């Protein structure tokens, strides 16, 4: 599984930078966003370094991407999102992606939110 030693989310996945963890298995980690927009805001992140959704390959990453999406409602419920949530995957510069390691935002909790 490829990692980028200069990547902040690779460092979080490797436990080299602390995070408030929500979930972890051999392929994925989920942790609370450091600058949440809403009462619930965490990120689901593959442990493999994939810069963005652009860097995924259909046959190779289909199961991983499906697992990320399938995990979202399970973890959202566990975190207390009982009235819905939003999933967001920013991709590349025009997509507003700031951290170049694929991640899915899961955002929920009672409104108003700071943004979104």
Binding residues for ligand 5GP, per CB under 6 A? 8, 19, 31-35, 90, 96-99
Backbone dihedral angles phi then psi of residue 110, each to the nearest 5 degrees: -60, 140
Catalytic residue among 41, 61, 101, 103: 103
CB 3 within 8 A of CB 49: yes
Q: Return the closest-CA partner of residue 42 out of 63, 21, 25.
A: 21
Choosing among ligand 5GP, Zn ion, none, which partner's interface includes residue 94 (Cβ < 5 to 8 Å by kind)? none
Active site residue 61: no
| 101 belongs to the binding site for Zn ion (CB under 5 A) | yes
Partner whose binding site includes residue 49, from ligand 5GP, Zn ion, none (CB under 5 to 8 Å by kind): Zn ion
| Listed residue (37, 34, 45) closest to 71, CA to CA | 45
Confirm or reject binding of residue 28 to Zn ion (CB under 5 A).
no
């Amino acid at each position: 599984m490829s990692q980028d030693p200069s990547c902040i989310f690779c460092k979080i996945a490797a436990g080299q930078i602390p995070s408030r963890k929500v979930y972890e298995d051999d392929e994925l980690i989920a942790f609370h966003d450091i600058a949440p927009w809403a009462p619930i805001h965490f990120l689901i992140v593959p442990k493999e370094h994939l810069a963005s959704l652009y860097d995924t390959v259909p046959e190779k990453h289909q199961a991983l991407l499906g697992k990320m999406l399938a995990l979202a409602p399970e973890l959202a419920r566990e975190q207390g999102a009982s009235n819905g949530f939003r999933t967001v995957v920013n991709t590349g510069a025009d997509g507003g992606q700031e951290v170049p390691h694929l991640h899915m935002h899961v955002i929920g909790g009672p409104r108003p939110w700071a943004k979104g």
